[in-house]
Amino acid sequence: MSATLTSYEPATGAELWSGGAGSAATEVAAARSAWPEWAAHSHAYRIEAVRRFANVVRKNEADFATLIARETGKPLWEATTEVGAVVNKVEISVDAYAERTPQRRMEAALGNKVTVRHKPHGVLAVLGPYNFPAHLPNGHIVPALIAGNAVVFKPSEKTPAVGEFLVNCFHEAKIPEGVVRLLIGGPDQGRALAGDPGIDGLLFTGSARVGMALHKQFAEMPHKILALELGGNNPLVVWNAKELEATAALVVQSAYLSAGQRCTAARRLIVKEDEADELIAAIRKLLDRMILGEPFAEPAPFMGPVIDNAAADHVQELWLNLMMKGAKPLARLDRPEKDKPFLTPGLIDVTDVRDRPDEEIFGPVLQVIRVQTFDQAIAEANNTRFGLAASLIGGSPELYDTFWANVRAGVINWNKPTNGAPSNAPFGGVGLSGNHRPSAFYAADYCAYPVTSVEGDRVRATISEGLTDPNFQED
């Protein structure tokens, strides 16, 4: 008998969803059985199918957004934007497939042709995160389906209801049930899916710790595609910024949207020493006005709780660890309700902390580092094993050019927040932030593989070297 998995609303603690854990082997077998027929359909047929899916999601927008808000705790306005991203992903993926994996035909000698076409891998496993439980896995699933793959999707054990809703939308759009399979479960089911011999690849969004474990596991399986979209210890550098209030707003957006539960959230604010106090005061004014509340509250909150009490406990432990190392709180990280995972936005000065932990604090915590020179700012920005997002606020075009050229990250912005990367561009990082397989617009790259063919309309062949002369006769 399968174990029961239960999902709770972070904001209320109420039970939201309950169901039995599935079998990875069963779901993979179903997907493998359905894959050949799906792959045999034309590209146009598959595009029409995912467009039907977009229409289904659009029709169910209100219910979908409500469910996301309830299961993640994020404000309803933010959940609604996530549903919009699910819909928009379809046309973006159609364009990406055409641009990234087009058919090419070239002339060769003697009337031959060289063609480049792409084939699907087969059955792809998708492991989704809880922070964007619809948008991020959908960013793998839709490109995979367009390319002709079947998919087994395991949502986070913390957001199974959203995962189930997403898969039901695919099925309601008449995409065969065997082509998009749902695997409910926790870490055990995730490990079983990753290790199932019937998958041809794994597309993962989540923590660097799990990503490294998957990388080791797949090291002995080079025949299987592995795409890792991991986290970041992202720097936000402020230098000679003239618009103080706008700068403070960008800092707050970067650090605290989604209660800091974005892989692109700013974790480190690196600021010029003589600008720091004024900027911190402006940030604190915004934090004092910030509404923290449940998803459907009026007026609407800026942020809700983190995903659960265990996550809140972990963020608080990391905050206390920084304080034990000598960090100075500028805005305290508090837990208004001890039995619920609401956290107030924390701001802490770690300039004088030696051996600062290089880790992703996945919650509403921003660390301030004061520096004297721009070279020091760049050095601090690169003082991490991660390399996902970085942003510069202020400075001249020449300074931004220097920043862009020297900072190691896959997303580098100027006068914009670190988060909110566009879906019509590649998204990914270096270091511990990914394995050089960026997602978003470049997801098409890992959902199909290129096949090069040299083709002739007739058989032509001679061997001109290394053979004896057929007309030669010995005396």
pLDDT tens for each residue of the chain, 475 residues long: 468 999 999 999 999 999 999 999 999 999 999 999 999 999 999 999 999 999 999 999 999 999 999 999 999 999 999 999 999 999 999 999 999 999 999 888 878 899 999 999 999 999 999 999 999 999 999 999 999 999 999 999 999 999 999 999 999 999 999 999 999 999 999 999 999 999 999 999 999 999 999 999 999 999 999 999 999 999 999 999 999 999 999 999 999 999 999 999 999 999 999 999 999 999 999 999 999 999 999 999 999 999 999 999 999 999 999 999 999 999 999 999 999 999 999 999 999 999 999 999 999 999 999 999 999 999 999 999 999 999 999 999 999 999 999 999 999 999 999 998 898 999 999 999 999 999 999 999 999 999 999 998 888 888 989 998 888 776 6
Expressed as residue numbers, the domain containing 211 is 4-230+434-455
Residue 419 domain-assigned (yes or no): no
| Within-domain flag for 462 | no
Query: Residues 175, 209: one domain?
Result: yes
Is the residue at 57 inside a domain?
yes
Do both 375 and 261 map to the same domain? yes
Q: Is residue 469 part of a domain?
A: no
Which among 383, 414, 445 is the end of a domain?
414
DSSP string, 232-269: --EEEEEES---HHHHHHHHHHHHHGGGG-STT-EEEE
Pull the structure tokens for residue 150: 């079947």
Q: Are residues 53 and 117 both part of a single domain?
A: yes
Task: Spell out a b/e string for 127-139, using b for 16 or more CB atoms within 10 Å of the CB, else e.
Answer: bbbbbbbbbbbbb
Examine the domain organization and report whether 87 and 225 are in the same domain: yes
Residues 163 and 216 in one domain: yes
Residue 428: inside a domain, yes or no?
Answer: no
Compute the 3-state secondary structure of the chain and give helix, strand, coil in percent, each to the nearest 5.
40, 20, 40
Report yes or no on 317 lying in a domain: yes
Q: Are residues 214 and 299 in the same domain?
A: no
The letter for the amino acid at 235 is: P
Q: Is the model's pTM score more than 0.75? A: yes
Q: What is the CATH number of the domain that holds 242?
A: 3.40.309.10
273 is catalytic: no
User: Helix, strand, or coil here: 398?
Assistant: helix
Residues 362, 251 within the same domain: yes
Say if 352 falls within a structural domain: yes
284 and 259 within one domain: yes
Distance CA 389, CA 384 (A): 12
Residues 445 and 384 in one domain: no
**Considering 71, 157, 164, 229, which one is annotated as catalytic?**
229
State the alpha helices, DSSP H only, in 41-147.
43-59, 61-72, 76-100, 135-147
Domain of 157, CATH number, reads: 3.40.605.10
Rounded to whole angstroms, what are the CA distances from 188 to 23, 90, 116?
10, 31, 40
Same domain membership, residue 198 and residue 59: yes
Looking at the structure, tell me whether residues 155 and 257 fall in a common domain.
Answer: no
**Beta strands at 426-427 and 439-440: parallel, antiparallel or unpaired:** antiparallel
CB of 73 within 8 A of CB of 307?
yes
Can 447 be counted among the known catalytic residues? no
Same domain, 207 and 252: no
* Residue 138 included in any domain: yes
Catalytic residue among 263, 294, 360, 380: 263
Number of structural domains in the chain? 2
Contact 210, 191 (CB under 8 A): no
